[in-house]
Amino acid sequence: MVPLIVICVYLALLLTLGIFASTLFRGSSKDYMLASHSIGPFLLLMSLFGTTMTAFALVGSTGEAYAEGVGVYGLLASSSGIIHSLCFFVLGIKLWSFGKKYGYTTQIQFFRDRLQSDKIGILLFPILVGLVVPYLLIGVMASGTVVNAVSEGAFSSMFAEYDYGVPNWLGSLVISIVVLIYVFFGGMRGTAWANAFQTMVFMVLGIITFWVISDNLGGAQAASEAVEERNPSKLMRSVAKSDEEKYEKAFATWQSLAEYNFANQKADGNLLTEEQKAQALADYKGPKIGNWKARAEANVAVANNLIDLSVAEKNDAFIQQDDRVMPEEKPEWWNTQVMTGHQLNAYHRNEDAVLQAYSDPIYNKNMGHPDEFINPENEDLGRKWTRKRTAGVYRATKWSPEEPRAMSMLVFVTYMFIPLSVGMFPHLFQHWLTAKNAQSFKLPVVAHPLFIAIVWIPCVLVGVWATSAVTDAGRPLIPPHFNPNAVLPFMVANMSGPFLSGLLTAGVLAAIMSSLDSQFLCIGTMFTEDIVVHYGGKKRFTDKQVLIIARCFIIAIVAITYGLSLFEPRRVFTLGVWTFSGFSSLFPLVFAALYWKRLTKAGAYACVITAISLWCLFFYMSDLALNPHFTVFGMMPVATMVPAAAIAMIVVSLMTQPPDEEHLKRFFPKKS
């Protein structure tokens, strides 16, 4: 309960700050959306950084580093530090100057004016909103996961299906409402103040989190040495030979278990005699957890050559044991070749199968309130299992071992396209316009890379260290097939006391909320300015009515995003990468609009249509982001989307009539 109280106090403080900021609100729609262009260097730095550091940066990067290794830092953080600042300098200052000069509030207003095309707004609006919504989902989903993880056991009898903690849906709902309140009342000014406050909070608490976790693992050196000893592949781009050998051995043992279960099912549970079963249990030396009895019996069955299955039956057994979907049409090799672990992983897994753990006595016998002992008369047996732990035991003891993966050089290099997304983020465009003057950009350009390193290095290290952290009994602290999104909150909850855990969780939530607010405000502004006011006519609405419309649309988009989050199980990092890829594919458009006079509106249409068509195609081919390792020609999909969009834009622009020279003078004035 203590962490929950700390989080509630933090949220109350944040609301107070938001309400205070709203007292500075000047009452006009321009002040609500752009803070009247009054944001100075420090507030601009903190709000820009807070906006770009999302759940993707904290929860997602930690989870991805846990799954893929330390190379995740090289994938994004190192390039982001440089490319983000370059975008601020190369794009941000120019866009700010045009916004100030011509009165833009949104990206679409700029493109409509620059391209002399009203319809470009109709094309861009659904695309930009459609890409922002998944971005919002990342924050809403992650906030629910974080609050639930840190509040396990907070209630004595309520929310048993959520391990007696705050349900994910309720945590996400509360965070969404808090953000909505200070955005609703404070607008951009309230958002900038809240972002600055939250950026300081998550940076300070992030450093404390890192120090506490590192200390609990014996220090940075000891934690890294543990990874080198137990999971060396997490420290390199390739797969270590020792990890390959460990996997092959574990996979062979798992195959025996699958074959035994299949054969025993065929024999109606009588493959072993009662004497053999009793002897198997007596001889078993492994941990007595989950389906350990089946593992013990499998050892005896293998030792006595009692398993007699055809090759096809063995393959059926592997699919069944691993909860994969049996193919309707089996490949030709199915009857002649025993499938490898790599081939097995190509088949889609039914993730809902894990729900069986809650009703199967093999797994649910210890499930209950995490504060109660399994046996009060024998406290050495430990406390009861949460539902998460029960499901974790099911996955860890039933499913096949996780195959170690090498990081392709092509994938590594082509990840560099992802940070280009910053150039087309509509919420960042809006933040750029809030600057008091061009000088305000100096501090963000210089300090942003340093801030990224301060935040991202600890997140990635914690994720890597988590792969090799062990309990006092020497077992892995985090079991196989653990949800990567929950790694950071799990480490925080297990490595610190209740009060500190609450504080550290508040820091994680601060990072999440500091990006949610800007995105909510941005979408409300876009709908109001680009649709309602643009097509309804400026004279039709009073400034007060514009404000009301913007606020109503913000409420609507929060409600829609929250509703979608209830059905969204994908990994935060994977979903984030797809969102960023979409924005990156539009980067050629904004760059050409600022630096290439020959860009025509037909070329712009070609760029946008090519980018979004390829995005939809690749997203569909990746099973709607369910395949986190999807590539195109061995590269990240974005590496195909960006050049294709740029080529389409250039070719079509050169084939069509160039823009009017008089019009171009507005955007490319001659230097005196």
pLDDT one-digit tens code per residue, 401-418: 988 877 777 877 787 888
Residue 39 has phi, psi (to 5 degrees) of -85, 125
The lowest-confidence range among 38-52, 380-394, 648-662 is 38-52
- Give me the pLDDT at residue 506, please: 80
- Give me the pLDDT at residue 372, please: 87
Please tell me the distance from the alpha carbon of residue 641 to that of residue 638, in angstroms, as a whole number: 5
Residue 367 has phi, psi (to 5 degrees) of -75, 140
Question: Would you tell me how many other CB atoms lie within 10 Å of the CB of residue 304?
Answer: 11
- Give me the pLDDT at residue 546, please: 81
Of residues 79 and 634, the one with the higher pLDDT is 634
- Give me the pLDDT at residue 55, please: 63
Please tell me the distance from the alpha carbon of residue 15 to that of residue 181, in angstroms, as a whole number: 7
The beta-carbon contacts of 349-352 under 8 Å, at least 24 apart in sequence, are: 349/322, 349/323, 349/324, 349/325, 349/399, 350/323, 350/324, 350/325, 351/323, 351/569
pLDDT confidence band for 77 (50 / 70 / 90): low
The lowest-confidence range among 35-39, 291-295, 369-373 is 35-39
Residue 444, classified by CB atoms within 10 Å of its CB into exposed (0-12), middle (13-18) or buried (19+), is buried
Query: For residue 297, is pLDDT > 70?
Result: yes
- Give me the pLDDT at residue 545, please: 83
Q: What is the tens place of the pLDDT at every residue in 603-631?
A: 999 999 999 999 999 988 887 777 777 88
* Gyration radius from the chain CA atoms: 27
Q: What is the tens place of the pLDDT at every residue in 473-500?
A: 777 888 777 877 778 878 887 777 777 7
Query: For residue 76, is pLDDT > 70?
Result: no
Q: What is the tens place of the pLDDT at every residue in 318-341?
A: 999 999 999 888 898 999 999 998
Tokens of 433: 């316009």
Please tell me the distance from the alpha carbon of residue 213 to that of residue 204, in angstroms, as a whole number: 15
Of residues 549 and 574, the one with the higher pLDDT is 549
Q: What is the tens place of the pLDDT at every residue in 532-569?
A: 888 887 777 787 888 888 888 888 888 888 888 887 55
Query: For residue 8, is pLDDT > 90?
Result: no
Tokens of 301: 């069955």
Length of the chain, in residues: 672
| DSSP secondary structure code for residue 528 in this structure | I
Spatial contact of 96 and 433, defined as CB atoms under 8 Å apart: yes
Q: What's the mean pLDDT when you consider all of the chain?
A: 84
Residue 386 corresponds to which amino acid? T
Average pLDDT over residues 372-388: 84
Nearest to 483, CA basis, from 408, 562, 573, 361: 573
pLDDT confidence band for 595 (50 / 70 / 90): very high
- Give me the pLDDT at residue 526, please: 86
- pLDDT over 90 for what percent of the chain? 21
Spatial contact of 547 and 29, defined as CB atoms under 8 Å apart: yes
pLDDT confidence band for 52 (50 / 70 / 90): confident
Spatial contact of 57 and 488, defined as CB atoms under 8 Å apart: no
- Give me the pLDDT at residue 605, please: 95
Q: Residue 385 forms beta bridges with which residues?
A: 367
Place of tokens 């309720």: 170
| DSSP secondary structure code for residue 146 in this structure | H
- Give me the pLDDT at residue 316, please: 94
Residue 644, classified by CB atoms within 10 Å of its CB into exposed (0-12), middle (13-18) or buried (19+), is middle
Please tell me the distance from the alpha carbon of residue 585 to that of residue 597, in angstroms, as a whole number: 20
Tokens of 615: 């995005």
Query: For residue 574, is pLDDT > 90?
Result: no
Concatenate the DSSP letters of all residues of 26-38 into one string.
-SSHHHHHHGGG-
| DSSP secondary structure code for residue 88 in this structure | I
- Give me the pLDDT at residue 649, please: 96
Instruction: Write a three-state SS string for 202-215.
Output: HHHHHHHHHHHHHH
Tokens of 545: 């009515």
Average pLDDT over residues 500-521: 79
Q: What is the tens place of the pLDDT at every residue in 417-452?
A: 888 888 898 888 888 888 888 888 888 888 888 888
Please tell me the distance from the alpha carbon of residue 176 to that of residue 167, in angstroms, as a whole number: 14
Count the alpha carbons within 13 Å of 40 in the hemisphere toward its beta carbon. Answer: 1
Query: For residue 370, is pLDDT > 80?
Result: yes
pLDDT confidence band for 111 (50 / 70 / 90): very high
Of residues 25 and 359, the one with the higher pLDDT is 359
Concatenate the DSSP letters of all residues of 309-333 into one string.
--HHHHHHHHHHHTTBPPPSS--GG
Of residues 314 and 228, the one with the higher pLDDT is 314
Spatial contact of 20 and 538, defined as CB atoms under 8 Å apart: no
The beta-carbon contacts of 290-294 under 8 Å, at least 24 apart in sequence, are: 290/362, 290/363, 290/393, 290/394, 290/396, 290/397, 290/398, 291/257, 291/362, 291/363, 291/397, 291/398, 292/397, 293/362, 294/257, 294/260, 294/261
- Give me the pLDDT at residue 651, please: 96
Nearest to 143, CA basis, from 560, 508, 555: 508
Q: What is the tens place of the pLDDT at every residue in 136-192?
A: 887 888 888 888 888 888 888 888 888 888 898 898 899 888 888 878 887 777 777
- pLDDT over 70 for what percent of the chain? 95
Residue 446, classified by CB atoms within 10 Å of its CB into exposed (0-12), middle (13-18) or buried (19+), is middle
Task: Write out the E strands in 533-665.
Answer: none
Average pLDDT over residues 289-317: 91
Residue 667 has phi, psi (to 5 degrees) of -110, -15
Nearest to 115, CA basis, from 575, 668, 660, 671: 660
3-class secondary structure, 467: coil
Q: What share of the chain is helix, strand, coil (3-state, %, to 5)?
A: 70, 0, 25
- Give me the pLDDT at residue 78, please: 65
Please tell me the distance from the alpha carbon of residue 199 to that of residue 632, in angstroms, as a whole number: 36
Q: Residue 349 forms beta bridges with which residues?
A: 324
Q: What is the tens place of the pLDDT at every residue in 252-272?
A: 999 999 999 999 999 998 899
Q: Give first-to-last CA distance, the chain, whole Å.
A: 66
